[in-house]
């Protein structure tokens, strides 16, 4: 067998995840089989199973990649940019619809729920780290609201189609008090 | 055949919806078959199909019943009560997990999305009606944020288990400015 470089392996793995993400965002997890994912990725059955033992492993890998980086500082402009980025991701790749699938699955699967909880803990900690001038308890409260508003906005995008981000950005600004 | 009263028919229909709601909240829509719903409702196959032609009709009926009444006025206390009510509904009947299933399904089904959009439009209008002293455009912005925060809170309940409502109530209060 010819040698395969790690970069090639990574690219193949990503090719599977990218195809699966699109398929999941448009059909949901339960209505997607490994056969559908083989077809969507344009790779062979053997190639897919080389990287992932099951659909659940693919869902987990996608969930790990689904978190978004926060802005470096929280200002009215950077908050609006962040929500515009969420909006663009939904338009370009169905990101918000994918998140809807992840939450629905996490709501009925303890394993995925545990992964999502970890990601949410990390996200709230990252928000707290951006609020060094706030009391810790107050920063924690703001972080809860920040995550809820971003998620709430994303889910409006998922079910209503395009929705302008300004009201949601204004809400975050009001909550932070910047 | 004996005559069956309308009240009896309504009760039977509701018995099916109540059983289906619990099953959907714990297993999701796609992993639930009509056979599962027959079993969960403890009625006969014939009885179920007398009320609903398909699983989709049951999902639609549940979605119609899933909206919540808003408080009569928006004060810090009534807002916290409203979120406590959401929290109790999740604890008692898995309401937030059910909403996660509804959004995931709406994200991939145009028919259900259209129903959810109508309900969201109605909910935002109801919030606007509670803000007679605000400029219409400002009231509309607040309504968007109100719905996003409530949904965001519910989805934290759905994937993290119990979460205290205070930070989310404080966010709504900050957004409304009451």
A163 within domain boundaries:
yes
Same domain membership, residue A46 and residue A118: no
| Residue A1 binned pLDDT confidence (cut-offs 50, 70, 90) | low
Per the CB < 8 A criterion, the answer to whether B165 and A144 are in contact is: no
A103·B158 Cβ contact <8 A: yes
Same domain membership, residue B44 and residue B70: no
Same domain membership, residue B71 and residue B17: no
- Which of A104, A120, A166 lies nearest to residue B101, judging by beta carbons? A104
Q: What is the pLDDT of residues B10-59, one digit of tens each?
A: 899 999 999 999 999 999 998 899 999 999 999 999 999 999 999 999 99
Same domain membership, residue A169 and residue A103: yes
- Mean pLDDT score of chain A, rounded to an integer? 94
Same domain membership, residue B87 and residue B171: yes
- Considering its fold, how many domains does chain A have in total? 2
Asked if pLDDT for residue B2 goes beyond 70, the answer is no
Instruction: Look up the pTM and report it.
Output: 0.92
pLDDT, position A46: 93
The domain in which residue A115 lies consists of: 66-176
Work out the minimum CA distance from A111 to partner chain B, whole angstroms: 11
Same domain membership, residue A168 and residue A87: yes
A149 contact residues in B (CB cutoff 8 A): 145, 148-149, 152, 171
Work out the minimum CA distance from B164 to partner chain A, whole angstroms: 10
Same domain membership, residue B105 and residue B33: no
Angle at A117 between CA A96 and CA A138, to 5 degrees: 95
Q: What is the pLDDT of residues B133-168, one digit of tens each?
A: 999 999 999 999 999 999 999 999 999 999 999 999
Dist CA B78 CA B72 (whole Å): 8
> Residue B30 maps to which CATH number?
1.10.10.60
| Higher pLDDT among residues A145 and A177, named by residue | A145
Work out the minimum CA distance from A4 to partner chain B, whole angstroms: 38
Q: What is the pLDDT of residues B72-116, one digit of tens each?
A: 999 999 999 999 999 999 999 999 999 999 999 999 999 999 999
B159·A120 Cβ contact <8 A: yes
Same domain membership, residue A121 and residue A48: no
Q: Which of B22, B29, B100 to mutate to test the interface with A (most CBs of A within 10 A)?
A: B100
Same domain membership, residue B50 and residue B82: no
DSSP code at position A69: P
- Which of B31, B100, B171 lies nearest to residue A145, judging by beta carbons? B171
- DSSP string for residues in B54-115: SHHHHHHHHHHHT--PPPSS--HHHHHHHHHHHHHHHHHH-HHHHHHHHHHHHHH-HHHHHH
């Amino acid at each position: 067998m010819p040698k395969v470089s790690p970069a090639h392996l990574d690219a193949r793995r990503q090719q599977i995840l990218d195809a699966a993400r699109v398929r999941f965002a448009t059909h949901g997890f339960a209505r997607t089989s490994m056969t559908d994912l083989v077809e969507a990725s344009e790779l062979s059955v053997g190639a897919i199973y080389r990287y992932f033992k099951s659909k659940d492993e693919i869902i987990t890998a996608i969930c790990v990649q689904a978190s978004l980086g926060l802005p470096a500082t929280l200002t009215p402009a950077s908050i609006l940019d962040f929500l515009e980025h969420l909006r663009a991701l939904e338009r370009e790749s169905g990101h918000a619809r994918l998140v809807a699938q992840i939450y629905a699955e996490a709501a009925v699967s303890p394993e995925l729920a545990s992964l999502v909880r970890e990601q949410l803990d990390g996200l709230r900690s990252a928000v707290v780290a951006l609020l060094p001038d706030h009391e810790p308890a107050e920063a924690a409260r703001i972080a809860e609201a920040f995550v809820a508003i971003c998620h709430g906005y994303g889910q409006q995008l998922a079910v209503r189609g395009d929705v302008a981000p300004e009201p949601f950005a204004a809400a975050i600004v009001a909550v932070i008090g910047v």
